[in-house]
A and B are shown apart, each in its own frame.
Chain A
């Protein structure tokens, strides 16, 4: 028995469904067997499963996630990294491992790095890595932020939205799972256009046709 429609905006505690359907992400089952939302979000109804896609929320790290971090402290063999999360990341300097480019670890406080989450125990130990190709210190450009819950929308299906942003502003863009976005725009005009586009994505992600609206926003901003 369904009490909501697909893509409906629901609030925490709102009754979603009861009976044969399976509980997915960000929902819970109460004493009476009713499936309820845990968060402010959109209903995501699949064949036999009901989930909530949160509209907003803090970044909780997952293994293999791409994150953009800021080096906050260097002590001994560990580099501490802020990843805009309740959990601080640790980047152990792997002196013994093979094929490690030690130059990558020549970091200063305030440096911005592109890293991957190697492991997270869910509570206190968050280990990052920058060993793979393409990871490491980011040079040049600027950092923008978006609510972590909106990252999938900034990327889009098959990177469609990200392409619109990149081509529309002729910028290099890297979107990380923790809601940080590294951009290298040709000039500050494109940077401002990107900021506006990100705010619009945050506000309108729940209304379809967003890609077209973003395309037209970008051409409007950049034709002035």
Chain B
């Protein structure tokens, strides 16, 4: 018996393109990222994106257990996406559901192409994404956090993976869909790329998009990802700049 009932908003977007949270179609929600939030993990990052609060941690490269999963010529990459019971308005039962299992796979496949797995034969790199507070776009926020965690663990990578979702609400292509748009919009397309090489490592979509709309969404996504990439870069370098300023 839920204490929270969702109500669909009257309008998802006005004729001028004003969204339910006041944003224009090309505006992103506020994003904050920081690394090194956990001590025991080899690398960790925390992302605040809109109302999302996502923690990512990396262990590895490390010994593989169970031994039979070892790949002799490269690192095994494992990822787990998990939502906390208190991450949603209605409490979620702990444990993986089908969606979490699919997202774990999709996140692994978004990050693996960026890792030089051949540098670490016979080992495993474990990636954990914990959604503490969910507010639409958790998988892309999780990928951004996990990229930072990997880099701050010292894993050899081709580059960071940066991600953002794009959606369609009526005739508008909107960047970084909010909760209302995710629930009741006409299409949602999460996208991740290795920014430096512009290779796409995550692409999913639901709803419907004409070919024109799809092209527009991809382009908007690419622009948004460029912005996200800059936020990630700054988060990785920040601890070192802060120390420089403190010392000098």
A contact set with B: CB distance below 8 Å? 9, 11-15, 26, 28, 30, 36, 38-40, 54-58, 60, 86-88, 122-124, 147, 149, 203-204, 206-207, 209, 213
A86 to B248, CA, bound (A): 37
Check: B237 CB closer than 8 A to any chain A CB.
yes
Q: Is the CB of A123 within 8 A of B122?
A: yes
A13 to B119, CA, bound (A): 16
Q: Is the CB of A122 within 8 A of B195?
A: no
Report the minimal beta-carbon distance from B208 to chain A, rounded to whole angstroms: 34
Of the candidates A11, A123, A213, the one whose C-beta lies within 8 Å of that of B233 is A11
A16 to B62, CA, bound (A): 29
Beta-carbon nearest neighbor of A122 in chain B: B121
Among A54, A56, A122, residue most surrounded by chain B Cβ atoms (within 10 Å): A56
Q: Which chain B positions have C-beta within 8 A of A36?
A: 158-159, 196
Q: Is the CB of A38 within 8 A of B157?
A: yes
Q: Which chain A positions have C-beta within 8 A of B156?
A: 12, 26, 38-39
Q: A11-B233, A12-B151, A38-B158 are in contact. List 20 more A-B contacts (CB 8 A).
A: A12-B158, A12-B159, A13-B114, A13-B159, A13-B194, A13-B197, A15-B196, A26-B156, A36-B159, A38-B116, A39-B154, A39-B155, A57-B154, A58-B60, A58-B154, A86-B122, A87-B122, A124-B70, A207-B243, A207-B247
Of the candidates B63, B159, B237, B244, the one whose C-beta lies within 8 Å of that of A86 is B63
Check: B221 CB closer than 8 A to any chain A CB.
no
A204-B194 in contact given A38-B156, A123-B122, A124-B72 (Cβ < 8 Å): no
Q: Which chain B positions have C-beta within 8 A of A38?
A: 116, 119, 156-158
Q: Which chain A positions have C-beta within 8 A of B42?
A: 58
Check: B240 CB closer than 8 A to any chain A CB.
yes
Report the minimal beta-carbon distance from A78 to chain B, rounded to whole angstroms: 16
A203-B63 in contact given A36-B196, A87-B123 (Cβ < 8 Å): no
Among B153, B239, B240, B243, residue most surrounded by chain A Cβ atoms (within 10 Å): B240
Q: Is the CB of A206 within 8 A of B233?
A: no
B contact set with A: CB distance below 8 Å? 42-43, 60-63, 70, 72-73, 114, 116, 119-124, 151-160, 194-197, 233, 236-237, 239-241, 243-244, 247-248
Q: Which chain A positions have C-beta within 8 A of B73?
A: 123
A55 to B160, CA, bound (A): 16
Q: Which chain B positions have C-beta within 8 A of A12?
A: 114, 151, 156-160
Q: Is the CB of B196 within 8 A of A13?
A: yes
Q: Which chain B positions have C-beta within 8 A of A123?
A: 72-73, 121-122
Q: Which chain A positions have C-beta within 8 A of B157?
A: 12-13, 38-39
Q: Which chain B positions have C-beta within 8 A of A58?
A: 42, 60-62, 120, 153-154
Q: Which chain B positions have C-beta within 8 A of A57?
A: 153-155
Complex A-B, nearest 8 residue pairs according to Cβ-Cβ distance, in ascending order: A13-B159, A57-B154, A86-B123, A12-B157, A123-B121, A56-B154, A13-B196, A38-B156
Beta-carbon nearest neighbor of B157 in chain A: A12
Q: Which chain B positions have C-beta within 8 A of A55?
A: 154, 240
Among A11, A15, A36, A206, residue most surrounded by chain B Cβ atoms (within 10 Å): A11
Beta-carbon nearest neighbor of A125 in chain B: B122
Q: Which chain B positions have C-beta within 8 A of A9?
A: 237, 240-241
Q: Is the CB of A86 within 8 A of B247?
A: no
A124 to B123, CA, bound (A): 9
Report the minimal beta-carbon distance from A22 to chain B, rounded to whole angstroms: 19
Q: Which chain A positions have C-beta within 8 A of B243?
A: 203-204, 206-207
Q: Which chain B positions have C-beta within 8 A of A56?
A: 43, 152-154
